[in-house]
């Protein structure tokens, strides 16, 4: 019976890791799911593996991933010619877009809404407030969208770094 429960436990752990990585790709809280799975594993194994310091570093990395993802759209917009207001509009657009997109089509709607929101936020600000030409405003919107996608991949890479730290400290 113990062997069976051990196998079930490791399967659940592996599924939590896979779900966490998938959530990272769609802009959700995947690294926090991974951290939660590691904490459960730490407790279940009698605090034998990992440790408070490695879990604190992992929690810091999970937080860093969220910050990078949140700011990436604004950074992308800046690289494509946006002023500070358009960078803020891109970040706000990401948040609003993901909130609107989630109930329409869970998970995929979150990602599509965030990318579209970043595009619309940056482009609209450039076009309406800064009175830029349409092509320049759309270019800035593209930069915001590309920044958002880069932020998602950065967050995923941080998820893999978390797993590497967990493997090394196990």
Name the burial class of residue 136, with classes exposed (0-12), middle (13-18) and buried (19+) by CB atoms within 10 angstroms of its CB: middle
- Distance (Å, whole) CA 124 – CA 85: 11
Q: Is the pLDDT of residue 162 over 90?
A: yes
Q: Is the pLDDT of residue 105 over 90?
A: no
pLDDT for the residue 16: 95
pLDDT for the residue 47: 82
Q: Is the pLDDT of residue 1 over 80?
A: no
- Per-residue pLDDT tens over the stretch 2-24: 888 889 989 999 999 999 999 99
pLDDT for the residue 31: 97
In this prediction, residues 42-60 reach a mean pLDDT of 89
Q: Is the model more confident about 161 or about 46?
A: 161
Say how many CA atoms lie within 13 Å of 75 toward its Cβ: 11
- Distance (Å, whole) CA 84 – CA 134: 18
Give the whole-number percent of the chain exceeding pLDDT 90. 66
pLDDT for the residue 74: 86
- Per-residue pLDDT tens over the stretch 107-153: 788 889 999 999 999 999 999 999 999 999 999 999 999 999 999 99
Q: How many domains does the chain have?
A: 1
Domain residue limits at 16: 2-169
pLDDT for the residue 126: 95
């Amino acid at each position: 019976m113990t062997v069976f429960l051990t196998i079930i436990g490791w399967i659940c752990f592996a599924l939590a890791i896979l779900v966490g990585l998938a959530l990272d790709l769609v802009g959700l809280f995947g690294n926090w799911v991974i951290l939660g799975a590691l904490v459960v594993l730490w407790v279940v194994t009698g605090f034998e593996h990992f440790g408070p310091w490695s879990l604190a570093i992992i929690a810091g990395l999970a937080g860093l991933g969220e910050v990078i993802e949140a700011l990436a759209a604004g950074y992308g917009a800046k690289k494509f010619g946006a002023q500070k207001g358009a960078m803020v509009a891109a970040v706000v657009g990401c948040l609003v877009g993901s909130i609107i997109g989630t109930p329409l089509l869970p998970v995929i709607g979150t990602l599509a809404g965030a990318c579209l929101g970043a595009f619309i936020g940056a482009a609209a600000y450039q076009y309406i407030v800064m009175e830029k030409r349409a092509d320049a405003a759309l270019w800035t919107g593209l930069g915001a969208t590309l920044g958002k996608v880069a932020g998602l991949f950065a967050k995923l890479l941080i998820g893999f770094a978390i797993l590497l730290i967990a493997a090394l400290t196990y």
